[in-house]
Structure 1
């Protein structure tokens, strides 16, 4: 089948996804002081983390242009899909929608659907996996859209970070939560709301205790884990991610657990040592 998939660069893709000719990465731009970093295949995580650590200002991001999405959708009548960061966290979704509307003026028969992930990072990766599954099964456009939207409704994203400073400085959290982390070494277990915003669910003193609290949160929300994949995105902490995978496997029989490294946007928000889980 001929189709196009556009994903913004908060999607932490697997190696196989990066090689899929149907998928086009639409990069955000990361701003660290006066430096602008394009979050594409050239992104260097170690160099970026160094720049962030040395810069007194909080890093920020700029969403892709509608034109960038138009190019990713393909200038033809083939079906196209996009997966973006939660519309509550970024302008990427609105940009993707505008690009779709503009392109359909030129190609009125073209079918385009933009999925608001209501998540980020690992959550977007799992949505992409579900979308690929539907397309490879040869399902019709309307059926693909229905199944993936239902999948998004049922998905949960959790995360534990070493520092919440970037989220706080970019207006994603209250100052109180970030202060607790810095002063008392309290690591909140955060999660996405159904609308795609961020909420605190639990907390633990130290990273390991917080991650164990995260595994308990999984048990409170997961339904039929044997039918689901769980995705772990980590920022420069593979051993921590592998340890967490073992702990989750002790408690729940997921269909599979996949570990990926964070790309640029997720690296910016997760910071060194952050963990994001979606299922």
Structure 2
């Protein structure tokens, strides 16, 4: 059976996923003041981070249209799946569902399913790889859905922010708190809830201590590391990501682990120096 996986651009595709021909990106748009950016292969992270740092306003994003999703779903594949960032963070999931419904008005027998990642970034990447694994095992469409939904239920997402300006600009952190946290070098350790919302797990003075606390939490929560693939994405800090990778390998020996650089939407959330880990 042939298959296609459409992942919105908050999810980073690995080089292998791009080369497989089974994955397609649905691009979101980012707006920094009056400058519009398409989150696709042309995304310039360095330019984006400069614009965000210079702006007093929080960058905004807009999701792919239902028509764009419908066009992506309308293909010759026997099974079509979409993976979107958490519906608690974006309208991408709802837009994909509308796109699926538009297609089914014309092709009611089309086998299309939309996964709400309840995560972001490489959380979506891992879900896409899980779909590929199930397809390559030859599982029926409905069984793939059940297995991938169960996998999403088991996922956890952690991240540590170097820069608190995005939280301040979008109103999640007051100017005074952001100033005090910055002055004291306080770094929050964040985690996504099972419902896909973001909450603070811990905090530490200094980035290295925050990363240690994040890794400690990962080690505690990953029950069967020899069966677990861990993904790490970073925003402009490859050495930091490599350190987290090596520490996790030494401490829990996961089945697999890989590192990618954040694309546009993930760069907007993580900001310069941010680290995201999903297991």
Q: Same fold (TM over 0.5)?
A: yes
**Structure 1 residues 259 and 77: CA distance shift in structure 2, 3 A:** closer
Q: Which residue of 2 aligns with 1:243?
A: 243
State whether residues 164 and 178 of structure 2, in contact with CA within 8 Å, keep that contact through their aligned partners in structure 1: yes
Partner-residue secondary structure (3-state), 1:265: helix
Q: How far does the alpha carbon of each residue in 1:189-218 deviate from its partner, in whole angstroms, 9 at most, with x for none?
A: 100001000011111111110000001111
Give 1:53 shift: 1.7
State whether residues 160 and 189 of structure 2, in contact with CA within 8 Å, keep that contact through their aligned partners in structure 1: yes
Q: How far does the alpha carbon of each residue in 1:119-177 deviate from its partner, in whole angstroms, 9 at most, with x for none?
A: 00121111111111111222110011011000000000000011232244335x34376
RMSD: 1.5
Q: Which residue of 2 aligns with 1:217?
A: 217
Give me the TM-score of the superposition, normalised by structure 2: 0.95
Q: Which residue of 2 aligns with 1:92?
A: 92
Measure, in 1, the Cα distance between the counterparts of 2:100 and 2:259: 32
**Gap regions ≥5 residues in structure 1:** none
Q: How far does the alpha carbon of each residue in 1:215-268 deviate from its partner, in whole angstroms, 9 at most, with x for none?
A: 111122111011000000001111111111111122111001100110100011
Partner-residue secondary structure (3-state), 1:100: helix
**Structure 1 residues 120 and 177: CA distance shift in structure 2, 3 A:** farther
Give me the TM-score of the superposition, normalised by structure 1: 0.95
Measure, in 2, the Cα distance between the counterparts of 1:14 and 1:62: 23
Aligned length, in residue pairs = 278
Give 1:3 shift: 2.0
State whether residues 189 and 200 of structure 2, in contact with CA within 8 Å, keep that contact through their aligned partners in structure 1: yes
Measure, in 2, the Cα distance between the counterparts of 1:5 and 1:177: 41
Which range is displaced more, 71-80 or 147-156? Answer: 71-80
Q: Which residue of 2 aligns with 1:227?
A: 227
Give 1:4 shift: 1.9
